[in-house]
Amino acid sequence: MSASPKTSRPKRKKPIPRGLPRDTASKLFEILAEDRPDPRTELDFVNPYTLVVAVALSAQATDVGVNKATKGLFQIADTPEKMVALGEEGVAEHIRTIGLWRNKAKNVIALSELLIDEFGGEVPRTRDELIRLPGVGRKTANVVLNEAFGEPTIAVDTHIFRVSNRTGLAPGKTPDDVEARLEKITPPEFKKGAHHWLILHGRYTCVARKPKCWICPIAELCRFKDKTPDPAGVKSEPAKSSLGPKHPGKTRT
Ligand code: SF4
């Protein structure tokens, strides 16, 4: 008699935990905002167009690496017209040190052509229009809307995704889930800066491998269970400098 096949129970989906209470979230932003009242991107740019290009180039690359590459590029091409005149090969010459440079050079030219053809060479101010540009997704569009046009958008990158989940601020399985929860939980007065505060916190303190919990200014509000102990074995005071360099990027708008 053949053994009856094991009945496999349907796997139960791990529930997404509840987010932090509203007043805790508010306190968290208050603390992050205290040290950096006017947070800015660490990418260098000279106008909304060069910001679009810089953010598009920053996928899978560091801001420092992108800034090195764009320094020379933006000196000779800071408008879509000049970029198109430089051509794909010319752009590629400048950005060879960045990952995926071939594809990115192609996109920079394509998005510049589209800006000229359909938007009179100006960067559009809506997300729907921005995401029509080659190489520009929702995340890039949100960064541009926030940084260039002062919109209270939150672009969820790898740092924000990690910090939102670890702290319990806005847990979610996908960047879109996290963005939606951040939209709900972030008090209006912190919406414009939230994107930068969370990125900088993730970049300098709540780092991927070994978060620096012992100097973290929001440790008491954070729900992360495996907080990293102080390597010196002493409980340090949270240092304000743990939030990273105070005036990082040289934005020139
Ligand atoms: S306590 Fe640790 S895990 Fe929590 S936010 Fe701070 S650095 Fe990140």
Same domain, 76 and 138: yes
pLDDT tens string 153-205: 998 999 999 999 999 999 999 999 999 999 999 999 999 999 999 999 999 99
Same domain, 27 and 70: no
Checking if the pLDDT of 116 tops 70, the result is yes
Question: Closest ligand 1 atom, CA of 218?
Answer: 6
Last residue of a domain, one of 149, 178, 209: 149
Residue nearest (by alpha carbon) to ligand 1 atom 8: 206
Terminal-residue alpha carbon distance, the chain: 79
Q: How confident is the model at residue 253, as a pLDDT?
A: 28
pLDDT tens string 210-242: 999 999 999 999 999 999 999 888 655 555 545
Checking if the pLDDT of 251 tops 70, the result is no
Percent of the chain with pLDDT over 70: 87
Same domain, 69 and 192: no
Question: Closest ligand 1 atom, CA of 227?
Answer: 2
Chain mean pLDDT for the chain: 89
Residues framing ligand 1 (Cβ under 6 A): 166-167, 205-206, 211-213, 216, 218-219, 222, 224, 227
Same domain, 170 and 214: yes
Best residue among 204, 224, 235 to mutate for probing ligand 1, ranked by most atoms within 8 Å of CB: 224
pTM of the model: 0.81
Whether 177 is in a domain gets the answer yes
| pLDDT (average), residues 26-37 | 92
From residue 246, how far is each of 41, 160, 201, 218 by CA, in Å?
Answer: 11, 19, 12, 17
For 71-75, 100-104, 247-251, which range has the lowest pLDDT when averaged over its residues?
247-251
Same domain, 141 and 220: no
Question: Which structural domain range is residue 135 located in?
Answer: 48-149
Whether 14 is in a domain gets the answer no
Positions marked active-site: 139, 157
Q: Distance, CA 102 to ligand 1 centroid (Å)?
A: 37
How far, rounded to the nearest angstrom, does the alpha carbon of residue 146 sit from its chain's CA centroid? 11
Q: How confident is the model at residue 37, as a pLDDT?
A: 83
Q: How confident is the model at residue 10, as a pLDDT?
A: 64
Dihedral (CA of 46, 49, 50, 52) sign? positive
Same domain, 145 and 205: no
Q: How confident is the model at residue 233, as a pLDDT?
A: 81
Q: Distance, CA 32 to ligand 1 centroid (Å)?
A: 12
Provide the number of structural domains found in the chain: 2
Same domain, 160 and 224: yes
Residue nearest (by alpha carbon) to ligand 1 atom 3: 224
Give me 247's structure tokens: 């005036």
Q: How confident is the model at residue 241, as a pLDDT?
A: 45
| pLDDT (average), residues 145-159 | 93
Last residue of a domain, one of 119, 149, 179: 149
Same domain, 143 and 59: yes
Q: How confident is the model at residue 249, as a pLDDT?
A: 38
Q: How confident is the model at residue 158, as a pLDDT?
A: 93
Residue nearest (by alpha carbon) to ligand 1 atom 2: 213
Same domain, 164 and 195: yes
Whether 224 is in a domain gets the answer yes
Q: What CATH code is carried by the domain that includes residue 233?
A: 1.10.1670.10
Same domain, 158 and 119: no
Same domain, 61 and 116: yes
Q: Distance, CA 227 to ligand 1 centroid (Å)?
A: 7
Whether 2 is in a domain gets the answer no
Same domain, 55 and 90: yes
Question: Closest ligand 1 atom, CA of 212?
Answer: 7
**What is the band of 39 on the pLDDT scale with cuts at 50, 70, 90?**
confident
Q: Distance, CA 237 to ligand 1 centroid (Å)?
A: 14
Which burial class, exposed, middle or buried, applies to 53 when counting CB atoms under 10 A from its CB (0-12, 13-18, 19+)? buried
Checking if the pLDDT of 6 tops 70, the result is no
Whether 222 is in a domain gets the answer yes
